[in-house]
A and B are shown apart, each in its own frame.
Chain A
Amino acid sequence: MNPRGADDSANAGSGASGLTRREFLRAAGGIVVLFSIGRSLEAAGSAPASTAADVDAWLRIGEDGRITVFAPTPEVGQNLRTELAQLAAEELSTPLSSVGVVLGDTDSVPADPGVCASSAISTIGVTVRQAAAEAREILAAMAAERWGVPRSQVVLKEGRVVLASDPDTAIGLGELARGQRLVRRLKQPAPLKPRAEYALVGKSAPAIDGPAYVRGKAGFAADLRLPKLAYGKVLMPPCLGAKLVRVETASAATQPGVIAVVEEDDFVGLVALRPDLAERALRSIQATWEEGAHTSMAALYEGLRATARLEERVGVRGDVEASLASARHGYSASYRTPFAAHAPIEPHAAAASPQGDRIVVYASTQRPFDHRKAVAEALGMSTEKVRVIVPAVGGAFGGKDAPDISVQAARLARVVGRPVLLSQSREEEMSWNSFRPAALIDVRCGVTEKGEIAAWDADVFNCGSRGAEPPYTFANQRARVYECDSPLPQGHWRGIGGSANAFAREVHLDYVASELGEDPVAMRLRHLGSNARMERVVRAAAERYGWEDRRPPTGLGAGFACAADAGSCAALVADVEVERTSGQVRVRRVLVVQESGLVVNPDNLRNQIEGGVVMGLGLALREAVRYEQGRILSRSFTSYPIPTFREAPAVEIVVLPAPDSPPQGGATAALCAVAPAVANAVFDAVGRRLRELPLAPVRVRAGG
């Protein structure tokens, strides 16, 4: 009996080449369900000897009845693990406590399809939900076959399959899985559980692995105490772009506790018995560097403009140039956002452990598969010989992508033939990783006699296209996105260009509204056109706040902004207090109205929004990576102050229900709207239009 076309020809070890490598499929009994998204399942079904490469998630029903979900994207604090467990448990009608989630282990999870953490729930979450639905159908079919009844007469309930007509006839999921060694893959998608029957999804659940965190037992990369663990340190250059000319390591090699000094081309590192001894020995290395061209912060924005190359056009409609030329009013301005650091409290760390002809790397990263590939290339090994496991990660925010630290740890470990832990100091963390791209954004806008924005033209330098297409509908619009030579290494950062693009757009819109003497919310609503989702959050935020009736007293101001990111829409109102003489801005209250589709875990979504608002405040008020002569000057929490307990404002959050839409990433949309809302509020308070972040006192005083 095979009611949904289950294809069980792909038994483990029967030639599914990509899968047979994966030890767990061989070793563990039970039932494994493979699932792929974004590809035709029928096509997948016609090629039963599938490889792991076209599988996005899988799920095992163990002989003990436990469900284990395997998914690529690591947990970095977004509580993905709990939300995936909720989605899987829901489809299988099993208690949340019977579901475990394995993330970010290259030996046992599907290859990372390149998902960014902020949208993991909308991609991996939906995949896992579908895989669990498939598993439910397989289990139901097996039980129905056992009892000789049609599938329609069995249901899943509390971790068991039950005969609908006789609830005493039931079989546990583990019992069904017993003795099985099946790998199944379905030809057509199983139906999802009707939302009306949801018992777990949509309800707040605490983090399934929370107790370990409050006990100090979560196990971050630097916490692993492998047998014979040694500690590494790597020689870093004095400034960006420096080339190693000469190095003298003999004295380091004789320092107490030093096991080995490693020199491989430009890579110089050492391994010692203890971290303090490694640091001490590193200081005794004499190196001569050729510093090359220096870069300083003062030249940042002109440098971006000077090196710009048109990369793409997004959101193009109508004829922008003609419309600008014929517009009654024209409003142009430039917006600037500096480099920002991720500044996770946990610095980058990786522990590499040689095991026979393999090497296992425990890395604090969001991209274990990139790390595996890089380690394999650096060591001249095949990727199968490298296993990367992501333990608990102490914050990443897009900053833990690059594989350097894993490669360095692996190189050291290979030389000494024992596990080596490499963990960056705060200074190294702030100096030698990527940054949020700095951005320069020129906006030109043309307004008709009737006050309609007919032309919107944005030239976006260096921060990419994310968020460059406005949520509004203008008759003529265009965003040209330019790639530039970045003076600092840059990478992802919660929403990447989304925060810079939202800053430029939302401040400019506010500017145009004030020039025309129109209310900024009314101006937004008039141009939201067919964007019903954004219109809904904007209206709700204005209503909740009492926007129309607001009368802020002197020195206080309210600012509005909206942004879309990772599939969510957010509208945000910030109340600020501005001290005119000092230029000090204090954000007193923030209201966020957000729509994120189906909400899997309401309290977690709120947690993510709150955190995004706090991080957004850092961008708005203080954060800018300073650098001179190729040297990062923002190397500590004193020289790069992030938001603290004292600044975190009261945040009111309203999540608008949209349960019939798929779940969306909720941690970045509000973040993107914070800085423009605060800048608009500063204008409201003191009439100073600020177009460069951060909104530091010196800029607020100067008004520009």
Chain B
Amino acid sequence: MAETARPIVIRVNGTDRSLGVERSRSLLSVLRTELGLTGTKYGCGSGECGACTVLLDGQPVRACTTPVSHADRRAVTTIEGLAAKDGSLHPIQQAFLDVQAFQCGYCTPGMIMEAVALLRKNPNPTALAIREGMAGHLCRCGTYSRVVRAIQAAAAKMRK
């Protein structure tokens, strides 16, 4: 296996991880296979569905089309790193629960990560802005309206 001479170092959910992996591997594959962080999902492998969304230095990226080398010496946040240290849910996670903004729940982690970034940029988005901001995420169960409501509810709580 042709592996890199220098390991790739990624700060994953606050902890530095040194990884001897091929630089061209997808961030998604490394998160799931090497680090066991399986909350980030594979849906399409080509950035069409958003299920693999994580934050790279706070910006949402599609982990399935991001080479792991892009994350070298940067910070990655996955769904597993979102709750507080004491385990209490992030307001967006809580809002998804309160609104029941999911059915099968497979697209949910990617949606939540995108919503975190969206609300950082725009703490008080309109429903239309949320639909536009979330447009790259697919939910086959069709819970879109609920996701919009959940993000609005979380935004209201986070502004307080």
Could you tell me which A residues sit within 8 Å of B by CB distance?
Answer: 76-79, 206-207, 210-211, 213-220, 222-223, 225, 231, 256-257, 274-277, 342-347, 392-397, 423, 425-426, 603-604, 607-608, 610-615, 636-638, 642-646, 648, 650-651
Contact = CB atoms under 8 A, between A and B. Distances in A.
A643 B39 CA distance: 24
Helix, strand, loop or mixed for chain A's interface? loop
A545 to B, nearest CB: 19
B140 A344 contact: yes
Contacts, number: 174
Interface in B98-118: 98, 100, 102-109, 112
Contacts of A646: 131-132, 135
B99 to A, nearest CB: 9
Nearest to A601: B100
A220 B100 contact: no
Interface in B113-160: 130-132, 134-135, 137-148
Interface-central residue, A79, A215, A216, A277, by most chain B CB under 10 Å: A216
Contacts of A648: 131, 142, 144-145
Interface of B: 1-2, 22, 25-26, 29, 32-33, 36-46, 48-49, 51, 78-80, 82-83, 89, 93-94, 96-98, 100, 102-109, 112, 130-132, 134-135, 137-148
Contacts of A213: 102, 105, 108
Given A426-B44, A642-B138, A77 B105 contact: yes
Interface-central residue, B44, B93, B147, by most chain A CB under 10 Å: B44
Contacts of A215: 39, 79-80, 82-83, 89, 93
A204 to B, nearest CB: 8
Given A76-B104, A276-B25, A394-B41, A637 B49 contact: yes
A35 B37 CA distance: 41
B36 to A, nearest CB: 5
Given A607-B103, A611-B143, A636 B108 contact: no
A206 B44 contact: no
A345 B131 contact: no
A423 B42 contact: yes
Contacts of B43: 345-347, 426
B100 A604 contact: yes
Nearest to A615: B142
Helix, strand, loop or mixed for chain B's interface? loop
B73 to A, nearest CB: 22
Contacts of B108: 213-214, 216
A274 B33 contact: yes
A223 B40 CA distance: 9
A214 B135 contact: no
Nearest to A212: B105
Contact of A611 (B93, B98, B105, B142): B142
Contact of B36 (A78, A225, A395): A225
Nearest to A614: B142
B46 A651 contact: no
A559 B146 CA distance: 25
A610 B100 contact: no
State the 4 A-B residue pairs at the shortest beta-carbon distance, nearest first. A216-B39, A614-B142, A394-B106, A77-B104
A637 B42 contact: no
13 contacts: A77-B104, A77-B105, A77-B141, A214-B108, A214-B112, A218-B105, A225-B36, A256-B2, A345-B41, A637-B44, A637-B49, A645-B147, A646-B132
A393 B103 CA distance: 10
A342 B140 CA distance: 9
Interface-central residue, A215, A277, A426, by most chain B CB under 10 Å: A215
Nearest to A613: B142
A608 B48 CA distance: 24
Interface-central residue, B51, B82, B138, by most chain A CB under 10 Å: B138
Contacts of A426: 43-46, 48
